[in-house]
Structure 1
């Protein structure tokens, strides 16, 4: 079997979660860097990486890595890459995204233009044609410059992997599916424990939790660009990955997951999204403000993404809101709580310092994942008494 290297980007601060996912799939970690993990695998990794990984934004097929301080070096080194191993004569190819950090070459548009010309020159010579129809499958190229070193990859996913296909309706400031999954995986929550999201919005955290609990692969119900790259990946590899996803899915399991929000319309949207994700049977959604948060069971988990107050008119309401959150937590004093927010005074108004605080970048926004650990329930306690 052929050996390939892949690049899996993720939110800054969540590299350890993605690394564990990749290792659990059986692939070798090549390098872990800020915001991305490089791993090695055979052709099954194209398929299984896209279908099974919950916390990466996309899977890139790594093509090359080299140093370039001038546009001439960039052109010549790009031209040396055996692009014919990846792109057929009728393939549609372009440099879809270029980023540059602390590098002499910093203009994305110039980087994109020069690399496209270099690839064309290479393929013209190999295929002995002067004009490329580009009417075949797509091969979008993504490049990153870091301290004058460029890493080149071809996007195998297409649309970002956070788009699972179930979220047709979203709240005003939704958390992405990949981030929601990573937050859940940073906690000790398991499917036999109660989980509540009191600011569930369109239901992303409860839905991702239900998918994790039922072992539903996040990419089962969507398509990927690399599905059509039959010159690199046999079709049967995709069929086998989907078959594996169906085989490992759990059925007839008990889970107690609840999502609350004070907006009745968004609760309706959450129910519809859960139905599209085929996990509606595991989640109870209800219109309820956080001050009415309560539960009869002694042990459970809260994982939530409350308002950050990014707009000035909203910031004034945050102290009162986070005081309500703290009061609700106090009423469930044997539960564990996990909150992601960019509000730096969150702990002050909650009234308790978090046991752990993890910094995570949600795009360019610095957020904090505050973790309040409750006591572990007795080992023999069954789900009904939690």
Structure 2
């Protein structure tokens, strides 16, 4: 069966997710925070297992215009819910409404739930309440500019939860956002990769997953595994194929440094959980003390932003030290994420390119300093 599917992601990452889906063989259409594509059960499994930068993958059941609750009820009831939900299905309904006449989200949610119950009760000849004792099918009704979209979430816990992070620091990067930061650079697996403020090690671990072509969803479970209409053999086949595509032989040069030894220990534990401890060198080192005789490489940093009271001076001291240290590395590209709009002045030079990204709800800028061109060996 062919499904209309949609991948959700943080604003600004649509092109990355579209590129990932296209690499899997699917045609895409982008909207703000969404990438639409079509596919069968294998597409659902592949997207969940392989997408590095998306948050979740949903099945689009229907879209229609609504301006009254009667229209919402009838539109929802007309959808083929019995094709997806068995009689004992648990189906929590989340509701959202943006710039629409039907602006009360609790009412939108309640009407949608009532319409689905009504439809399933008729189909299954069921009197009274449905049991909802079976597998969970997370549903959402989203109304944007008076157009309702009904979806089933196939992912469950967000795709950023890879399953390897057993410990973290104060403000860890989400795994999918870290993967996006790596994929927005000019890094290739044959180049050195350095994270000077590694924290819990997420950036180096995601770089290693990319370097080895390891599917990020290999270690985790998904909501669709319990869906009645999904053949359980599909996911296993996709994971087996992904295992065959991994390149375990490539030698990676990936370093993660942090001034805090406790964070280095945490990073090592996470890398061990991911099966990548031997691919990454973690070491206690201040950013200002980094030295290398390698002529080229890539530095990706997510240093403290100095957003908390009294921390801005310390953050800017670090930016200044980075600028002075990295000035001696003209053959290296540097990519630094921060919410401090005064970063370039403190760092000491203007970025080659600056990209706006959202780290959660926080507006940040990705400052890119491209390396001077040198011949590649």
Structure 1 length normalisation: TM-score?
0.95
- Hey, what's the Cα distance between the residues in 2 that align with 1:321 and 1:84? 58
Are the counterparts in 2 of residues 28 and 41 from structure 1 also a CA contact under 8 Å?
no
Which residue of structure 2 lines up, in the alignment, with residue 3 of structure 1?
Answer: 2
Which residue of structure 2 lines up, in the alignment, with residue 113 of structure 1?
Answer: 110
- Hey, what's the Cα distance between the residues in 1 that align with 2:204 and 2:272? 12
SS at match of 1:118: helix
Which residue of structure 1 lines up, in the alignment, with residue 346 of structure 2?
Answer: 349
Residue among 203, 206, 209 paired with 1:208: 206
1:127 aligns with 2:112: no
Report the Cα offset of residue 70 of structure 1: 2.2
Report the Cα offset of residue 298 of structure 1: 1.1
List gaps (5 residues or longer) in structure 1: 382-386
Report the Cα offset of residue 236 of structure 1: 1.8
- Hey, what's the Cα distance between the residues in 1 that align with 2:19 and 2:323? 32
SS at match of 2:310: helix
1:77 aligns with 2:94: no
- Hey, what's the Cα distance between the residues in 1 that align with 2:104 and 2:3? 29
- Hey, what's the Cα distance between the residues in 2 that align with 1:43 and 1:116? 26
Which residue of structure 2 lines up, in the alignment, with residue 23 of structure 1?
Answer: 22
1:185 aligns with 2:186: no
Q: Write the deviation string for residues 222-276 of structure 1: whole angstroms up to 9, x where unpaired.
A: 11111122x3221221121011111001112211000011111111000000010
SS at match of 2:321: helix
Are the counterparts in 2 of residues 92 and 138 from structure 1 also a CA contact under 8 Å?
yes
Which residue of structure 2 lines up, in the alignment, with residue 86 of structure 1?
Answer: 84
SS at match of 1:317: helix
Are the counterparts in 2 of residues 294 and 331 from structure 1 also a CA contact under 8 Å?
no
Which residue of structure 2 lines up, in the alignment, with residue 269 of structure 1?
Answer: 266
Which residue of structure 1 lines up, in the alignment, with residue 275 of structure 2?
Answer: 278
Which residue of structure 2 lines up, in the alignment, with residue 104 of structure 1?
Answer: 101
Report the Cα offset of residue 85 of structure 1: 1.0
Residue among 223, 231, 235 paired with 1:234: 231
Which residue of structure 2 lines up, in the alignment, with residue 259 of structure 1?
Answer: 256
1:368 aligns with 2:365: yes
Q: Name the stretch that deviates more: 358-367 or 36-45.
A: 358-367
- Hey, what's the Cα distance between the residues in 1 that align with 2:91 and 2:273? 33
SS at match of 1:138: coil
Structure 2 length normalisation: TM-score?
0.97
Q: 1:289 to 1:170 in 2, by over 3 A?
A: same
Report the Cα offset of residue 302 of structure 1: 0.4
Which residue of structure 2 lines up, in the alignment, with residue 60 of structure 1?
Answer: 58
Q: Which runs of 4+ in 1 moved over 3 A?
A: none
Query: How many residues are matched?
Result: 376
- Hey, what's the Cα distance between the residues in 2 that align with 1:146 and 1:101? 5
Q: Name the stretch that deviates more: 41-50 or 66-75.
A: 66-75
- Hey, what's the Cα distance between the residues in 2 that align with 1:162 and 1:215? 17
SS at match of 1:246: helix
- Hey, what's the Cα distance between the residues in 1 that align with 2:265 and 2:315? 25
C-alpha RMSD over aligned residues: 1.2
